[in-house]
Amino acid sequence: MHRTQQTFGLFVFTLASTLTFASLSACDRTEQPASSNAATPKPQPSGAAVDLQSRVETMVVEYSSVKAALPLAGRVTYGEDRFSRISSPLQGRVVEVRAKLGDRVKAGDILLVIDSPDISSAYSEFVKEASELEYATRAYELAKDLYENKALPQKDLKQAENDRIKAQAEFRRSKERLLSLRVPAAELDKPLAEQKITSRFDMKSPLTGTVVERNITPGQSVSGDPAQVLFTVADLDKLQVVADLYERDLDLVKVGQVAAVTVEAYPGVSFPAVLSAVGDVVDPTTRTIKVRAMVDNETHKLKPEMFAR
């Protein structure tokens, strides 16, 4: 990574002028006679002085920027919001695997299909609660009409209203259960006659990227445990470099600075990066702070877990 310091060019220019002036004065004194009070012709510069003057250059004084390298050791990783370790939210058996290691997938693409009694039970419960909500809503509307025509006591209207509220709560609970299993809301908003109870669950990719890890085969059972990672999908077009910065150098870096990343696999090649975050905690053992830089990787030359500088 690099840091930028401003250097005041006037100091350099003034020092050079002083040295030049001293040299010229010394030459003049050697050419002047020691004992002469009368007016003498203006001395002509010696050949050495003329040669020296011809080499003097002048320039406009201005500010300039000087880059000084601040080497840091780190490693290449996935971007924090650009990868996902995917596990099954329910128990079941894998009936189809559609994604292979190295495949490019888009958000919403099906990675695998699971046959699960959990999804079948959740669908059945949802259809049941939706039906009961329809019945409770019709009963309440009828009770309301009867009450307004003085054909039904108020307590019966209250009971019908309570039944409807309870049915609404149970319907929402069953719907949230299916949504937690990643069933699309548009599918659940269909009329009851179009609802299909199924035991098959499509597990989809939550982001666009590359399948960098696959730990599942057809016929294998899944437990619904988040620790059982079936796929890892990552966006490799933009990676992150995590490096250790000594606390004494903290004032030399800031978010937004440009950095150059190098790896042993490509000697002499640097990858431009931008500092995206500076940690807030110092490691008490190493006295370092974690800094992060984002680097474009459209060529996929950089690989996660590479050592970087």
Tell me the pLDDT tens digit for each residue of 48-60: 555 555 666 666 6
Given 211, 234, 257, which residue is the final one in a domain?
234
| Whether residues 191 and 131 fall in one domain | yes
Instruction: Note whether 273 and 257 are within 8 A (CB).
Output: no
Residue 89 belongs to domain with CATH number = 2.40.50.100
The pLDDT value given to residue 285:
94
Instruction: Note whether 116 and 199 are within 8 A (CB).
Output: yes
Given 172, 198, 224, which residue is the final one in a domain?
198
The pLDDT value given to residue 53:
59
Q: CA 278: distance to chain centroid?
A: 14
DSSP of 165-192: HHHHHHHHHHHHHHHHTT--HHHHTS-G
| Whether residues 58 and 128 fall in one domain | no
| Whether residues 222 and 108 fall in one domain | yes
DSSP of 63-92: EEEEEEE----EEEEE-TTSEEEE--SS-E
| Whether residues 108 and 130 fall in one domain | no
Spans of the chain, pLDDT less than 70: 1-68
**pTM strictly above 0.75:** no
The total of structural domains in the chain comes to: 4
The pLDDT value given to residue 297:
93
Q: Is 73 exposed, middle or buried (0-12, 13-18, 19+ CB in 10 A)?
A: exposed
| Whether residues 98 and 207 fall in one domain | yes
| Whether residues 170 and 130 fall in one domain | yes
| Whether residues 243 and 125 fall in one domain | no
The pLDDT value given to residue 220:
94
| Whether residues 290 and 300 fall in one domain | yes
Tokens for 179, please give them: 């949504």
| Whether residues 146 and 260 fall in one domain | no
Residue 240 belongs to domain with CATH number = 2.40.30.170
Q: What's the DSSP call for residue 48? A: H
**Residue 176, domain extent:** 117-198
Interatomic CA distance for residues 159 and 59, integer angstroms: 95
| Whether residues 213 and 244 fall in one domain | no
| Whether residues 264 and 128 fall in one domain | no
The pLDDT value given to residue 150:
87
The pLDDT value given to residue 68:
63
